[in-house]
Every structure is written in C-alpha cells, then in structure tokens.
Structure 1
Amino acid sequence: MHKVPTMYARLIQGYQAMDPEQQALSAYAAQQLRLMMSGSSALPQPVMHEWETITGHCLLERYGMTEFVMAISNPLRGARKAGTVGKPFPGVQVRIAEDKSGGGTIGEGELCVKSPSLFKEYWKLPQVTKESFTDDGFFKTGDACRVDEDGYYVILGRTSADIMKVGGYKLSALEIESVLLQHPDIAECCVFGLPDKDYGEAVSAIVVLDSEHKRKQEESNSAFSLEELCDWAKDKLAPYKLPTRLMLWDSLPRNAMGKVNKKELKRQLGNEK
C-alpha cells in the first residue's frame, strides 16, 4: 500500500472514531498487508509512530521524482529511521550543493542527483533543462536537505516554499511542523514565512485543532494561544524557530496529491487583509 501522509493521518482519525470491535478488525486487516509506504511529502513522526502502534507496520519512506524515479530509500529490511528518507540506492550519486549566500547551516543545501534512471531533458525546453543540471550532470532537485549522523538523508522542504529566511537564519518549515504536530491538541498544521520588517520573514503557523480540543474550547470559551504553543515547544525548538504568529483554521487547503497548497494558503491570507 502506498499513500501520502495526509491519507495515513485521515485513516488514524477514522480508526480513533471506531468502537473497539471495529478497531480490532481494522487493525487486523491492516496487519495482513505485506508493505506500507509513504511518499510525496514529509511524513510527520507522530503519524509514523501512531500508525505503527495501530498496525504493527513501520511505514517505508523513500525519495524520488518524476525526473529520476526513486533515488533514496529507507531499507525494505532493516532499520527505518523516522524523519528521514534513508540512503541512496546502489548506483545513485547524491550530493548537497551548499548555499554560499550565507544564513544556512553547514552541511545543508540543495539535493542534487545523478542516476542511471535520470531523464535526458524537458521536452522542447532547452533553457529549463540547462538550468536544471550542474555542469557535471547532476540534476538540481529544488529540495533542501541534510545528512544526519547515521548517513540518512533528511528532506527539509522545497527551497522555493519551505525554507524561511528569519533574522539571518534559514529555517525548515517542515522541521518546525514535525515538532508542532507532536502537540496532543493539534491535528494539522502548516508553517511558513510571512513578511516582517525587522526579521525579513516571521515564523508563522496555521493550526487545525483536533475535534476533542475544539469541543473543550467551546465549552470553556477559551482559545488556543500562541503563548501556550510556544511554552509547550520551547524545550523542543530553538528560540529563533518558535512561531511568532499563530492562526487557528478549521481546515488547510490541499492539492490533488493531498499536500498542503501553500500558494493557495497565502492567497487566502492575502484576501483576508
């Protein structure tokens, strides 16, 4: 079974709404599947751990693009490391092109791939093709990444949408989202940068609360606050990674693949001004 992270999150929500008998039957059915994979966007660690608790399956994360199919993967048999997409396949060359403009972290940069399955060119787009490759034939993926202490690759997000420039730091929105999703009252969240006259961009979070917390919130007539969120996250995130703006929404706009549509999200925010 291969699904995007949002689908697994929805399945978990459906499971939690079942009665004990339905939960037992559903978990048993899921346990009979040979393999479960997750792809197309970063898999939040809380979703991975909860899914394994329910089904016994540790989701297999890997990394690929239409331009070269699969290039990096956690092992089919062996330790699968949460929060990473694993290591390069045999025959695949991978390197990180570090950003020389400053503000980034050493060892982080754009992921570049050379593979036997790498495409030749974009159809009738010679200039786009030229700009997409390095001089020695590596394809520029447009994804920022780093390698952890065990040699596993961690995708930090699209350089065009998921990397924020805050007060001289380059921050990964996906990293911050992964932490915020560990909060027991948060069902979904999206982190992005909004213009800020002092810091360039401000770490901003849109949060969708789970149904139980929404009910309690309505009963007590109290709102989930930025102060509450930052107090909970201060031991999990560096001070400069803590959100400085918080918005509570009922749902997040998503594209056909189930990924949060940040372009549409920012358009909606623009309409609200």
Structure 2
Amino acid sequence: MSYGPPLLLASLNPAAIAAGADIPDAVTIDDATLSRSDLLGAATSVAERIARADRVAVLAEPTVRTVLAVVGCLIAGVTVVPVPPDSGAAELEHILRDSGAQAWLGAAPDGTGLPVVPVRLHARSWHTYPEPDPASTAFILYTSGTTGAPKGVMLSRAAIAAGLDALAEAWDWTWKDTLVHGLPLFHVHGLILGLLGPLRVGSPVIHTGKPTPEAYAAAGGTLYFGVPTVWSRVVEKPELARELGKARLLVSGSAPLPVPVFERLTELTGQAPVERYGMSETMITLSTRADGERRPGWVGTPVRGVRTRLRDEAGEPVPHDGESIGGLQVRGPMLFDGYLNRPDATAADWTDDGWFRTGDVAVIDADGRHRIVGRESIDLIKSGGYRIGAGEIETALLGHPAVAEVAVVGLPDDDLGQRIVAFVVARDGGVDAAELIAHVGEQVSAHKRPREIRFVDALPRNAMGKVQKKLLS
C-alpha cells in the first residue's frame, strides 16, 4: 500500500505509522529506546518549535535528544549544523559564525551567546509537515580543518537519499537488519549512514555510546559499523569477536583497515569485513558489495550512480592497471552542493568538465576495484624521481608481527626531494629499525623502503580515528 510521496526518512511516514507500521525499538541510544511512533511524535514536537528557523546548531552528543533534534529539523526542513562536542573555543566560534546558526537546539556549551531551544523527550505532536524540497540543504557538515579553517560542506536531501539508497543496494541493507555502532554523530559515518540510513530503510539502530568490543558483542545486531581502531580492539578480544560472527555484515571505514586486522577479524568471525570509501563532500562512493570479493586494502567498486577516474598532475588519464597511481576524481548524485561561503574553494575542487577532485590518490584495477593510497598532499611521496604511495609501505610494515600501528610520510630531503620516514608504534618486546626496513624491502621495490624508522608511543588521531600526519615531523 502506498502512503504518499517518498520521504527522506521513509520509515517515519506518518500515514504508514498511523496504519500500524510501528516497531518498538526503532532507535536505542543513551540507554533509552524509542519506538517508531514515539520518535515521530517527539521529533514533530521539536519541528513545531523550530519550523521558522533557517539553520540551527546541534551539539552532537550520543543522546536521544540529539536524535530528536536532528529528526525534528529534517521534518521541518531546517538545516542542521552538527557540532562536535569536544570542539575547542576557536573551532566552535568559527562554526557558529560561518554557518549562521540562529540557535542551539537541545544541549549547548556553557557561555553560549545564542538562544537555546530545549528538546523535550516526552512532548508529542502529530502535526503533518509536507516533505521539504529535495534540493534544500539538510546538513552543513564541517571538515576537520587539517589544511586551514574547517569548511562547511552543504549536503542536500536529494544527495543523502541517493547515497543511502546506493549503499542499501550494495550491502543488501533492509528493514530486517539491526544496525549497531558507537560512532560520533557529527560526521557522515555515524550521523548520515548510522542514523539516517536506518530511518530510511526501516531497520532498527542500536548506538552503543562508545564503540567497545563488549558493547558490540552484547548488541546482537546483523550489521555493524566501525572505524579501524574499533576493529583493532575487537580482534584483541577473541571471545567477543566471535560473537560478531553471528552478524550478516561488518563494515569498516573512515580510514584504511590494516591488513593484519582484516585477516584476524576474518579468522575470528568467519567473514571478511566490507571496506568502503567516502568523504564529507561525497558521502560513500566506493564499496565492496555484500555479494562481492572482499580483498584486504581495497575499497571495492563504484556504488550505483557513481563514476570514477584517475588523473596525473598534468590532468592526463592514468591507466587502470592496479599499479599506476593517480588523483581520484568522482561524479555521482550523492555529491555535495559546495562549501558554504567559499565559492573559490568550491570551484577549485571541480574540474572544468564536472568531476570532483577528491584530493586522494588511488589505483584502479582492470575489474574496476579501487585501492586508496592516501591524501595527495601527504600520502603521495615523491622521492628520487619516483611516485610512491605511503599506504603500500604502511601495509608492508603492518605485516610485521612487532608493529602495532604505523604512519608513513615524506619529509623534505636535499638529495631525494622527500625521504620516506615511518613512525611506528611497536608491540611489547620492540623491534630493531634495520629489521623493519629489511622487512619492507622483501615485499616492495628498493626505492620504496623507508630511509628512517621513528618509534613513537602513539600516533596523533582525530575523533574519527584518522591519523593526523601533518603533526608528524
């Protein structure tokens, strides 16, 4: 039976819920569970209070109030500006000023100068709102700001719908699944995939607060999202990892999954994890399919509607031979509408013929599978006349049993242009630098061996688990 035009949050169709399409555990978060009807009623109550606003800031803590704030804005057609709860004062000031947010919805930082609109957990409204224009901006997501002030990425409702539908098709994601994750709610991974995805396909979602192995094992889901740090911790507790073998799909993203972790997770759970690739500006454009080959270090093929290509520094095509490195460019219906207030930055990231420059470097094989080498600015190392991908060297080093974590960078060198330096977190017992260099030399060409190994206690990472290589020198 049809209940009117399709909604971005299709499972919250008021007519369908009124006809009995309710489930008791639509969203579980912060030790609280909302049924589908409770979520719709409470979020609509939020929508009534902010319907005249253009943009509001939401302090994206993993709570029921955050969920209701986000869903309420989407019902009312108000743009959401998710704010990381751990934002520093300068970052917070920049986000609020740049976004033009008119108020805080729900929780707010101490000393804020903006008005605060409360989110009431037990209020209910059954007012019906028309579906907003698909071209309208649903979110302004701020980048990590590693190369300057964070930029506001404008994502439309239509782009989000296209991205989620493409993933649902690639992963066979349906209402029969139960998604489990404990990821932050201010980025694409945890917020759009991890919250809006279930609300679009109709599957329950369990947010574990923190993504601990214990919480993941106890949740009993069929579909799990995690960043590499999560999966690294899971495989360190084999008895808990084996519980995840009951799931249908384990998905890793936001950073490359180390091959040893991939292999250990496969061994313990009986299934290889699915790896995928995306960014705030594109959402997810590449993924291993649920029914496809899962190859460690590779992020699969383009999802439905996406096209990709590789270009060198001169803009010339790079062959898809599984070896040649080029700048990755993409096209697709889930791409962003530009950077807020940054027309020059927006224009700089698009080619004249309409392709988005991701800033990442990759290789593509003859079957269309992609392997991401890293960021063009920091992971493409030019040493002694060679173009070298840091990711290949990192993979080789992670294959040594004494290496727990590694980040490879190119540092200035008067002779080579850049010399390859590996920052290594060693496991208990340690390892000799010469041994690691020789280990890499056994697996890759001689010019790719690190010239220097630096042992560190930890690698600098951001909230999504990505290594901040700019801090390594």
Match of 2:382 among 150, 153, 165: 165
Q: Following the alignment from structure 1 to structure 2, what is the Cα–Cα distance between the partners of residues 32 and 110?
A: 38
Q: What displacement does 1:61 show?
A: 0.6
State yes or no: 1:2 paired with 2:244: no
Higher deviation after alignment, 245-254 or 104-113: 104-113
Q: Following the alignment from structure 2 to structure 1, what is the Cα–Cα distance between the partners of residues 304 and 388?
A: 31
Partners of 1:230 and 1:242 within 8 A in 2: yes
Partners of 1:203 and 1:243 within 8 A in 2: yes
State yes or no: 1:137 paired with 2:343: no
Letter in 1 for 2:233: R
Where relative contact order (Cα < 8 A, 6+ residues apart) is larger, the structure is 1
Tell me the residue number matched to 1:184.
Answer: 401
Tell me the residue number matched to 2:299.
Answer: 85
Deviation per CA, 1:86-129: give whole Å up to 9, x if none: 11123211111222399x99842111111012222211211111
Match of 1:238 among 410, 420, 445: 445
Letter in 2 for 1:179: A
Match of 1:65 among 279, 287, 290: 279
Q: What displacement does 1:42 show?
A: 1.2
Structure 2 counterparts to residues 77-156 of structure 1, below 5 A: 77-100=291-314, 107-156=324-373
In structure 2, relative to structure 1, the CA distance for the partners of 1:225 and 1:28 (3 Å cut) is closer
Tell me the residue number matched to 1:250.
Answer: 457
Q: Following the alignment from structure 2 to structure 1, what is the Cα–Cα distance between the partners of residues 304 and 349?
A: 23
Q: Following the alignment from structure 1 to structure 2, what is the Cα–Cα distance between the partners of residues 48 and 10?
A: 12
Tell me the residue number matched to 1:227.
Answer: 434
Q: Following the alignment from structure 1 to structure 2, what is the Cα–Cα distance between the partners of residues 27 and 263?
A: 33
Deviation per CA, 1:243-270: give whole Å up to 9, x if none: 111111122121111111112223xxxx
Partners of 2:234 and 2:241 within 8 A in 1: no
Cα RMSD (Å): 1.9
User: Structure 2 length as normaliser, TM-score?
Assistant: 0.50
State yes or no: 1:56 paired with 2:270: yes
Q: What displacement does 1:72 show?
A: 1.1
Partners of 2:383 and 2:418 within 8 A in 1: yes
Partners of 2:226 and 2:252 within 8 A in 1: yes
In structure 2, relative to structure 1, the CA distance for the partners of 1:6 and 1:28 (3 Å cut) is closer
Partners of 1:191 and 1:203 within 8 A in 2: yes
Q: Following the alignment from structure 1 to structure 2, what is the Cα–Cα distance between the partners of residues 238 and 40?
A: 28
Q: Following the alignment from structure 1 to structure 2, what is the Cα–Cα distance between the partners of residues 235 and 101?
A: 34
Deviation per CA, 1:182-214: give whole Å up to 9, x if none: 001111111111111110111111111112x24
Q: What displacement does 1:178 show?
A: 0.7
SS of the equivalent of 2:425 reads strand
In structure 2, relative to structure 1, the CA distance for the partners of 1:174 and 1:107 (3 Å cut) is closer
Q: Following the alignment from structure 1 to structure 2, what is the Cα–Cα distance between the partners of residues 28 and 61?
A: 19
Partners of 2:327 and 2:360 within 8 A in 1: yes
Q: What percent identity do the matched residue pairs reach?
A: 40
Partners of 1:96 and 1:107 within 8 A in 2: no
Letter in 1 for 2:251: M
Match of 1:46 among 246, 260, 275: 260
Letter in 2 for 1:58: A
SS of the equivalent of 1:29 reads helix
Q: Following the alignment from structure 2 to structure 1, what is the Cα–Cα distance between the partners of residues 439 and 371?
A: 24
Match of 1:198 among 403, 415, 418: 415
Partners of 1:9 and 1:47 within 8 A in 2: yes
Letter in 2 for 1:228: E
Tell me the residue number matched to 1:269.
Answer: none
Letter in 2 for 1:5: P
SS of the equivalent of 1:36 reads strand
Q: Following the alignment from structure 1 to structure 2, what is the Cα–Cα distance between the partners of residues 191 and 150?
A: 28
Q: Following the alignment from structure 1 to structure 2, what is the Cα–Cα distance between the partners of residues 28 and 184?
A: 22
Give ranges in structure 1 of 5+ residues lacking alignment.
Answer: 16-22, 215-223, 267-273
SS of the equivalent of 1:231 reads helix
Q: Following the alignment from structure 1 to structure 2, what is the Cα–Cα distance between the partners of residues 128 and 230?
A: 40
Tell me the residue number matched to 1:218.
Answer: none
Flag the structure with larger Rg. Answer: 2
State yes or no: 1:74 paired with 2:291: no
Partners of 1:162 and 1:192 within 8 A in 2: yes
Deviation per CA, 1:37-68: give whole Å up to 9, x if none: 11111112111011111111211011112222
Q: Following the alignment from structure 1 to structure 2, what is the Cα–Cα distance between the partners of residues 38 and 127?
A: 33
